Amino acid sequence: MRPLQQKSPWCWELAAENEMRVPAVIYADAPLIDAMDEKVLEQTANVARLPGIVQASYAMPDAHWGYGFPIGGVAAFDAAAGGVVSAGGVGFDISCGVRSLLTGVSASDVEPLRERLAEALFRAVPAGLGSTGTIRLHGREMEAMLAGGARWALGQGFGNEADLLRTEERGCMAGARPEYVSAQAKKRQRDEMGTLGSGNHYLEVQRITDIHDAEAAAAFGLRVGEVVISIHCGSRGLGHQIGTEYLREMVLAAADFGIKLPDRELACAPINSPLGQRYLGAMRAGINCALANRQIITHLTREAVRDILPGASLELLYDVSHNTCKQERHRVEGRERELYVHRKGATRAFGPGHSELPPEYRAVGQPVIIGGSMGTSSWILAGTRESESLAFSSACHGAGRAMSRHAATRRWRGAGVVDELARRGIVIRSPSLRGVAEEAPGAYKDVSAVVEAADHAGLARKVARLEPMVCIKG
């Protein structure tokens, strides 16, 4: 492939060549580009070869190598032009996402209670590989959860109606088809509702250290010195099983659809095919599973926190996913088109005025939650109007890994990471010290550099910076 051409200090492009149907575009500054895994460009270019892709294949500033699509990849497809849906373009942890809760409590008041808070949250929310909770779902209950998402969870007593208004898709993804989710996927999820899982999932108590956009911060309810609680998790075993099964089926069916795959990991099916429709129905059920899961964890978190901080408001700021394919309307070349936007390790970032935003956020744009990793900062951004034309209203979702989990465990010991963070005043609780080593802060890119690139590129604008105080790590 020819080298990337720098279009601006924050935008790089590989012109369409060979079998690419559209250009490949990466949003990042020069240091991030230099440090980026060379597979990111290769994968972004491969995505550009898929049928029905519109405008460009995009990679966000936190992009790194993934399965098929790069993590941090965004691509939109037009069903009317033979567009496809790709299970690899959504990922295995369907609808993994972040929700943040406001507390209205000052960090100085929480500081002496950090250990108590850490213990209470660690007991309340099961975490780790294969973690299970107290909820057991069978038969019709499982079907109802997959169809209803966070709205189902509210009906079970987990949360309140106000939560839905500040949740993507109002807490329930339309078009979910639980009957297209296999019995094995449902079995894996049977005991996992209300659990964090493992990997980069976390439940974190954070202090707001800086405000960069006073108007947006006021609309979001963010004030310097106050505490926010963030929850990062997804659809657990169910989402992974859906991804595994449909990827296998899409690989086998590609030739029958006349699709030449540049990489087997980019297995896909035409959106309007029976297979494409079955995957979309199952994937939307996976989204609802993740939304319900985060809603239950929110309830468990509120119960634990209120015992220690009875004055905390624990009002939901926002919940947004970053492993999805969404049917959305976007303006392309002067006209609106209905597109299927894949965001893998990328967050929806609607700008000011968008009709799907809660009224109180409509003037400033959608909250975009950028998670850190234990010892690193997290950020709240806001969607921009220009992001619509830049990348179908999408932004980065985190720092992005700088090294593999295996490499991280060779470099760090979990106990050493816990001790180092304790010296910085950050309390860690995890069922796995190996998991802590895999998620060591040094295994990730500089999240502040990623956020700066997103801000300067116009994908989303900085609103507030947060630092960890307590982290429950999966």
Contact yes or no for 103/229 (Cβ under 8 A): yes
Q: Give CA–CA dist 34/26, Å, rounded.
A: 12
Q: CA–CA distance from 65 to each of 123, 356, 397, 444 (Å)?
A: 35, 32, 15, 13
Contacts of 130-136 spanning 24+ positions with Cβ under 8 A: 130/198, 131/192, 131/195, 131/196, 131/197, 131/198, 131/431, 131/474, 132/191, 132/192, 132/195, 133/191, 133/192, 133/193, 133/194, 133/195, 133/296, 134/194, 135/191, 135/193, 135/194, 135/296, 136/190, 136/191
Q: Give CA–CA dist 378/47, Å, rounded.
A: 29
Q: Whose structure tokens read 């179908």? A: 392
Q: Give CA–CA dist 92/335, Å, rounded.
A: 33
Helices (H), ranges, 125-266:
139-155, 161-165, 183-189, 214-220, 236-253
Helices (H), ranges, 254-347:
274-308
Q: What is the dihedral of CA 83, 84, 90, 92, to 10 degrees?
A: 180
Catalytically annotated residues: 397
Q: Give CA–CA dist 63/43, Å, rounded.
A: 10
CB-count exposure of residue 461 (10 Å: 0-12, 13-18, 19+): buried
Bridge partners of residue 380, in order along the sequence: 369, 464
Could you give phi then psi for residue 443, rounded to 5 degrees?
A: -80, -5
